[in-house]
């Protein structure tokens, strides 16, 4: 009898076809509407495998109901939506999609840095609103990226890919991470610093750690106050690493110069959210890995992970280390 899997969003045709050859597959047949929590809770007992997104909270309640689950394949590199220790203690394999999204997310992180520093979104709006009256010396002036100092918090795959891009802009590089990265220090001429020093020295601070109990509220008002008032904060990692209440206060008080954000404490961001009031904040709807090529590769990798796990093999992206 074929094993059963459930996919919480509509996958590309070729991914679905391949999975259907091997498994009995049910899907939540929508690309842009989440499966209601109650629906997932109601049906999950039927399945051996779950291919899910970061929009699904895979917590104790869901794991209790999913008594037949053998694998949870997450369509993301971050897996803070899954109660990982609980899943592992029940013998459920958890997989993610690292690597295939590294360069695309680094592109977006760099784009956010350029957009926030050179006021691209604000300037485009100004033109469309008829505010461009003449070439004016100080109209829409921003901050230089080239030659400035970039501080990366969390020098992993994406952090290093951002650093490689920054070298092309002749930026001075520094990082703070959980562990020293001698291989990246040698490759990138990037200097290790404690968090305090990095925040005080950097013109741009990019956050690229996972969201864990250790990184929750890593950046609060105390840390924001250490930053230069000309500095820009970029967060393409996860909301919750930056305390949003404090960030809003810091932006209101001119503690930092601007921000570029792709992720938020609660997603999607409601339209009346205070962060949307700041012209010096570029706000994106969690599109870090959103290129057609990369999202397709993520689906393919998530499908490979669930397939191998249910065939009794070790999937390539088994999350074995608790972060």
The site string for ligand NAP over 141-160 (x = CB under 6 A, - otherwise) reads -------------xxxxxx-
Is residue 215 close enough to count as binding ligand NAP by CB under 6 A? yes
Q: Are 83 and 77 in contact (CB under 8 A)?
A: no
Q: Which of 179, 183, 194, 270 binds ligand NAP (CB under 6 A)?
A: 179
Q: Which residues pair with 213 in a beta bridge?
A: none
Q: What is the DSSP-derived secondary structure letter of residue 176?
A: E
Distance from CA of residue 9 to its chain's centroid? 19
Given the rule CB under 6 A, which of 32-40, 114-122, 172-180, 265-273 is the region that contacts ligand NAP? 172-180
Token couple for 173: 């590089």
Distances (CA, A) of 6 to 71, 223, 282: 11, 42, 36
Region for 273 from its dihedrals, namely left if φ exceeds 0, alpha if ψ lies in -120 to 50, beta otherwise: beta
Q: Judged by CB under 6 A, which of 237, 242, 255, 319 binds ligand NAP? A: 237
Q: How many residues bind ligand NAP (CB under 6 A)?
A: 31
- 202 alpha-carbon distance from chain centroid: 21
Contacts of residue 173, Cβ cutoff 8 Å, sequence gap at least 6: 149, 150, 152, 163, 166, 167, 188, 189, 190, 191
Least spacing, CB of residue 7 vs ligand NAP, in Å: 20
Answer for which of 11, 210, 258, 260 binds ligand NAP (CB under 6 A) is 210
Active-site residues, by number, are 238, 267, 286
239 scored as a contact of ligand NAP (CB under 6 A): no
Chain center to CA of 83: 18
Cβ-contact 175, 182 below 8 angstroms: no
C-alpha–C-alpha distance, residues 200 and 223, integer Å: 9
User: Which residues from 264-293 bind ligand NAP, rule CB under 6 A?
Assistant: 286, 288-289
CB of residue 287 vs ligand NAP: minimum separation in angstroms? 7
Q: Looking at beta carbons only, is 46 or 180 nearer to ligand NAP?
A: 180
| Interaction mask 82-121, ligand NAP, x per CB under 6 A | ----------------x--xx--x----------------
Contact string 180-209 vs ligand NAP (x = CB under 6 A): ----------------------------xx
For ligand NAP, the binding residues (CB under 6 A) are 77-78, 98, 101-102, 105, 154-159, 177-179, 208-212, 214-215, 236-238, 262-263, 286, 288-289, 323
């Amino acid at each position: 009898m074929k094993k059963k899997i459930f996919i919480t969003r509509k996958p590309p045709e070729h991914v679905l076809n391949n999975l259907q050859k091997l498994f009995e597959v049910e899907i939540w047949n929508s690309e842009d509407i989440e499966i209601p929590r109650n629906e997932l809770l109601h049906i999950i007992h039927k399945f051996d495998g779950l291919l899910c997104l970061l929009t699904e909270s895979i917590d104790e309640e869901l794991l209790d109901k999913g008594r037949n689950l053998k694998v949870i394949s997450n369509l993301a590199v971050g897996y803070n939506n899954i109660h990982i220790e609980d899943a592992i203690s029940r013998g459920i394999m958890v997989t993610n999609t690292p690597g295939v999204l590294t360069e695309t997310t680094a592109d977006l992180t760099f784009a956010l840095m350029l957009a926030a520093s050179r006021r691209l979104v604000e300037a485009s709006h100004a033109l469309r609103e008829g505010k461009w009256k003449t070439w004016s010396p100080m109209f829409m002036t921003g901050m230089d990226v080239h030659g400035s100092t970039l501080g990366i918090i969390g020098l992993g795959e994406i952090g290093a890919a951002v650093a490689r891009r920054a070298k092309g802009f002749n930026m001075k590089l520094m990082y703070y991470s959980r562990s020293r990265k001698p291989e990246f220090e040698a490759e990138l001429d990037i200097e290790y610093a404690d968090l305090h020093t990095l925040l005080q020295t950097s013109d741009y601070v990019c956050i690229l750690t996972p969201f864990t109990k250790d990184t929750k509220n890593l950046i609060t008002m105390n840390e924001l106050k250490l930053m230069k008032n000309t500095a820009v904060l970029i967060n393409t990692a996860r909301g919750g690493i930056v305390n949003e209440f404090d960030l809003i206060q810091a932006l209101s008080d001119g503690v930092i110069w601007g921000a570029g954000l792709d992720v938020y404490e609660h997603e999607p961001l409601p339209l009346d959210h205070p962060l949307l009031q700041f012209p010096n904040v570029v706000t994106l709807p969690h599109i870090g890995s959103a290129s057609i090529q990369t999202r397709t590769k993520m689906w393919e990798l998530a499908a490979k992970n669930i397939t191998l796990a249910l065939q009794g093999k070790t999937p390539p992206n088994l999350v074995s280390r608790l972060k």
